[in-house]
Structure 1
């Protein structure tokens, strides 16, 4: 039971699951039950991945969809993963004492999900602007005063989490032009006094 709770908490922490807002039906009302739903963005990503062409033997065409949990954000991606260019979701685990390098993910041109929540991020690298398919970025506790302007060129980006970036003093002026951006988490970003028009 404890192991299950640990996995559920990890999925909640990565925003793969969220607490359900749907009222419980009568069957579960009197029981000690917690209901979760898959986050909308994760659901959309899962549907997009499952829509990939499938050959007649049932395997995904090409090298397939890859998901990576890596433990060292200070190494270039090609040293950490064999098919780095095809990775669609990348999450660094237990990297809180290792400083993030720009080439830790720069070769992941197919990335849709980038979770840097367990990395030491002094500065969000400019290489994030090369990841044109990104939909989800979780980069809390950035220590720099600015995020790169190139982040506003990510037209597919739906979710941007910069929570706890105390030193962040401003956002790029063109962030308001990101039509796909549906969720922007700036909680704990006390240095931001004014948002761009």
Structure 2
């Protein structure tokens, strides 16, 4: 299994973008379809996200063998200047645009200076519990240019919380959101943080 940023690949085919779309749909489908969207719109949003993250390829880490993608991690930072909302405005219109913006507003977070935020991490069903998620996280930690790596995860998603804790993330706070409960059926969220140590900085530079 090769783990690398998408920007290090010479080519990213339409077939690979389709695989990325299916991965994203698999990871987000329950959130997509629980209240705001039907299955067809959810598939369309997954395609939109796949195109968006592949175009912002320096923020996308993929786990693959040749042209088969088995996992991905997409992150953002204040320095990266990601413009997801501008992309949404160009791609959607009317009530669908409002729903998509609302969805990402509920799940979104603006990282502070010297902070990198994991927007999402998805692993193929074929490779669950085979260490792919850990490989993606560790690659992100090694390449990190900021002091902190952060994320939000639903408090009831204990499997994901254990994965992050295994990779030295700690829960810094637990938040409740009624809007989130209404939109995606998750009210309670854990904000988790990994901080780079001096030893990590040294290892990256040797």
Same fold, TM exceeding 0.5? no
**TM-score of the superposed pair, with normalisation by structure 1:** 0.30
Which structure has more strand as a fraction of its residues?
A: 2
Which structure has more helix as a fraction of its residues?
A: 2
Tell me: higher relative CO, structure 1 or 2? Use CA pairs within 8 A at least 6 residues apart: 2
Structure having the higher Rg: 1
**TM-score of the superposed pair, with normalisation by structure 2:** 0.29
